[in-house]
């Protein structure tokens, strides 16, 4: 057994550089999450079927991220083990971001435009997942247990800052005179240009991390993690065996994740319709009022990101990660339920600030709790598999969304946000079964 060396403390800027590319990746992800329902509704999709369009993103994440984790555990190039994957994923993302919002601009028939949009969405989420996962792995690889909370908090900050920028792009473009309306079935230029600019920023941020971060070579990595050098490269990986040996935190935090991500899936899917319904008094996706509500979705999501950034700075002051987790999810639940009773666009800021508290915890605490319970070998594989606790609940929520929308929400988008609040309460209760492993 090799001697385990202690990982040195990293400076703030070293921790910052590890995650800076995440800022650009999150801009792409926020543009997708805030505008997918709007894009497909504009193309002519039935509101009752909107949740089904959201099956593809988490399904691709569930497939891609474990593969990236397993392969990158066993990869070493002059660029490192994780960085090649985030670079390739980013390049593909940039290309697809320039295609997706143009699904209605190529004068295709309705069915052809929908198929084009679905294929582009599948490719976009595949590439975003490929670019996103390595950032979580880089922290797990190089940061010691004492600094992991701080490292993931920085990542959470950059993630939410990217979200803030991405969410605001459409309304900023509208403000400077770019058209926010278009011909029937065509996505407005304010959305199209937002995707273009997001693609440029994504590539720049990822290149910054590529040139600034040097990963541990295999020998050094093995010394710091107490494993035989190249052991990971020599042995085959059985996913089911890894799951059987997974620490309890993998499963208990995974249960919390299930309720949390199902809740946010409904937020992304139904906020546009919910706000249009309660504030703009319309359910017509082709109306100017609906498109105005679509812009306001970006604003309230930006407010959520601000709340998340603020709350991310408060989370480290809690003595217990579990306490922070529970309180954060309960605040988010209150926010979701409160949206049902707000009919003023500016008063919506209050519930979305509270929702931001839950989002900050969801981004930072699960990975802190899990990586503190993992050894160095198979770190990428476990983080890739753990992504299933993010993707699976979204798939389940998307599959059941149409039924819940019809029979529980009675066709009301805003009622789906109330259901999201109930799901977060269940997630908060589930926190009590998590056991912290503070090395």
Mean pLDDT, residues 383-408 taken together: 86
Q: Decide which of 86 and 233 is more confident.
A: 86
Q: In sequence order, which residues have a C-beta less than 8 Å from that of residue 80 and are 6 or more positions away?
A: 213, 214, 215
Rounded-to-10 torsion of CA 318, 322, 326, 331 = 30
Closest C-alpha among 139, 133, 141 to residue 154 = 139
Share of the chain above pLDDT 90, in %: 31
pLDDT in tens, 61-80: 777 877 887 777 777 887 88
Report whether pLDDT(19) > 60: yes
Mean pLDDT, residues 353-365 taken together: 92
Closest C-alpha among 394, 372, 393 to residue 383 = 372
Mean pLDDT, residues 3-15 taken together: 76
Report whether pLDDT(50) > 90: no
- CA angle at residue 68 from 225 to 79, to 5 degrees? 70
Report whether pLDDT(350) > 50: yes
Could you give the 3-state DSSP secondary structure of residue 165?
Answer: helix
Helices 189-212 and 12-43: angle between axes, nearest 10 degrees: 160
The pLDDT value given to residue 323: 93
Burial of 389 (0-12, 13-18, 19+ CB in 10 A): buried
The pLDDT value given to residue 47: 62
Report whether pLDDT(42) > 90: no
pLDDT band for position 332 (cuts 50, 70, 90): very high
The pLDDT value given to residue 254: 93
Mean pLDDT, residues 382-404 taken together: 85
Judge contact between 259 and 325, C-beta under 8 A. Answer: no
Phi, psi dihedrals of residue 44, rounded to the nearest 5°: 120, 15
Closest C-alpha among 25, 20, 35 to residue 293 = 35
Report whether pLDDT(92) > 90: yes
The pLDDT value given to residue 437: 63
Q: How many helices (H) and strands (E) does the chain have?
A: 17, 0
Helices 388-407 and 413-430: angle between axes, nearest 10 degrees: 140
The pLDDT value given to residue 194: 94
Neighbours of 399 (CB within 10 A): 13
pLDDT band for position 429 (cuts 50, 70, 90): very high
Closest C-alpha among 300, 357, 419 to residue 30 = 300
Mean pLDDT, residues 326-354 taken together: 96
Pick from 198-212, 316-330, 380-394: least confident: 380-394
The pLDDT value given to residue 393: 92
The pLDDT value given to residue 439: 47
Q: How far apart are CA 12 and CA 94, in angstroms?
A: 29
Share of the chain above pLDDT 70, in %: 91
Report whether pLDDT(244) > 60: yes
Fold exhibited by the domain 15-217+243-433? Growth Hormone; Chain: A; (1.20.1250)
pLDDT band for position 258 (cuts 50, 70, 90): very high
Report whether pLDDT(269) > 50: yes
Tokens describing residue 188: 């407005």
Tokens describing residue 117: 């949009």
Q: How far apart are CA 100 and CA 323, in angstroms?
A: 41
Q: How far apart are CA 121 and CA 115, in angstroms?
A: 10
pLDDT in tens, 166-200: 888 988 999 899 988 878 778 889 999 999 999 99
CA atoms within 13 A on the CB side of 403: 5
Rounded-to-10 torsion of CA 105, 108, 114, 118 = -70
Mean pLDDT, residues 401-427 taken together: 93
pLDDT in tens, 207-240: 999 899 888 777 777 776 666 655 444 455 667 7
Question: Could you state, in order of their start, the residue ranges of all structural domains in the chain?
Answer: 15-217+243-433
pLDDT band for position 157 (cuts 50, 70, 90): confident
Report whether pLDDT(99) > 70: yes
Judge contact between 158 and 25, C-beta under 8 A. Answer: no
The pLDDT value given to residue 215: 81
Report whether pLDDT(201) > 50: yes
Phi, psi dihedrals of residue 282, rounded to the nearest 5°: -145, 150
Tokens describing residue 266: 């409904």
Pick from 81-95, 105-119, 260-274, 288-302: least confident: 105-119
Average pLDDT, the chain: 84
Report whether pLDDT(341) > 50: yes
The pLDDT value given to residue 24: 93
CA 259 vs. chain centroid, Å, equals 15
């Amino acid at each position: 057994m090799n001697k385990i060396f202690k990982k040195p403390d990293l400076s703030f800027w070293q921790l910052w550089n590890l995650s800076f590319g995440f800022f650009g990746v999150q801009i792409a992800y926020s543009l997708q999450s805030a505008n997918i329902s709007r894009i497909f509704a504009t193309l002519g999709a039935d509101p009752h079927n909107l949740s089904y369009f959201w099956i593809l993103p988490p399904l691709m994440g569930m497939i891609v991220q474990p593969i990236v984790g397993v392969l990158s555990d066993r990869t070493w190039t002059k660029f490192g083990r994780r960085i090649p994957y985030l670079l390739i994923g980013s390049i593909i993302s940039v290309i697809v971001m320039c295609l997706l919002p143009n699904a209605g601009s190529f004068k295709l028939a309705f069915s052809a435009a929908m198929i084009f949009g679905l294929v582009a969405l599948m490719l976009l989420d595949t590439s975003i997942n490929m670019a996103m996962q390595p950032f979580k792995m880089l922290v797990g690889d190089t940061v010691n247990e004492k600094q992991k909370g701080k490292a993931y908090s920085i990542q959470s900050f950059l993630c939410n800052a990217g979200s803030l920028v991405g969410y605001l792009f459409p309304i900023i473009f509208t403000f400077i005179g770019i058209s926010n309306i278009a011909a029937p079935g065509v996505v407005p230029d304010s959305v199209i240009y937002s995707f273009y600019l997001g693609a440029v920023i994504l590539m720049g941020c990822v290149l910054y991390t590529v040139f600034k971060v040097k990963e541990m070579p295999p020998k050094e990595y093995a010394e710091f993690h107490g494993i035989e050098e190249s052991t990971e490269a020599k042995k085959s990986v059985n996913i089911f065996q890894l799951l059987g040996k997974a620490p309890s935190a993998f499963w208990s935090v995974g249960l919390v994740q299930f309720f949390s991500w199902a809740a946010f899936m409904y937020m992304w899917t139904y906020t546009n319709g919910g706000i249009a319904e309660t504030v703009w008094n319309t359910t017509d996706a082709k109306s100017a009022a609906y498109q105005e509500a679509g812009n306001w979705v970006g604003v309230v999501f930006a407010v959520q990101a601000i709340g998340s950034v603020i709350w991310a700075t408060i989370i480290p002051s809690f003595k217990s990660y579990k306490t922070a987790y529970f309180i954060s999810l309960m605040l988010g639940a209150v926010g979701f339920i409160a949206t049902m009773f707000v009919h003023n666009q500016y008063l919506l800021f209050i519930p979305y600030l509270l929702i931001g508290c839950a989002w900050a915890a969801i981004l930072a605490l699960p990975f802190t709790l899990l990586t503190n319970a993992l050894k160095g070998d198979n770190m990428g594989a476990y983080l890739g598999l753990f992504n299933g606790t993010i993707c699976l609940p979204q798939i389940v929520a998307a599959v059941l969304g149409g039924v819940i929308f019809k029979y529980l929400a009675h066709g009301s988008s805003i009622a789906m946000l109330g259901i999201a609040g109930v799901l977060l309460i269940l997630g908060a209760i589930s926190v009590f079964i998590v056991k912290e492993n503070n090395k």
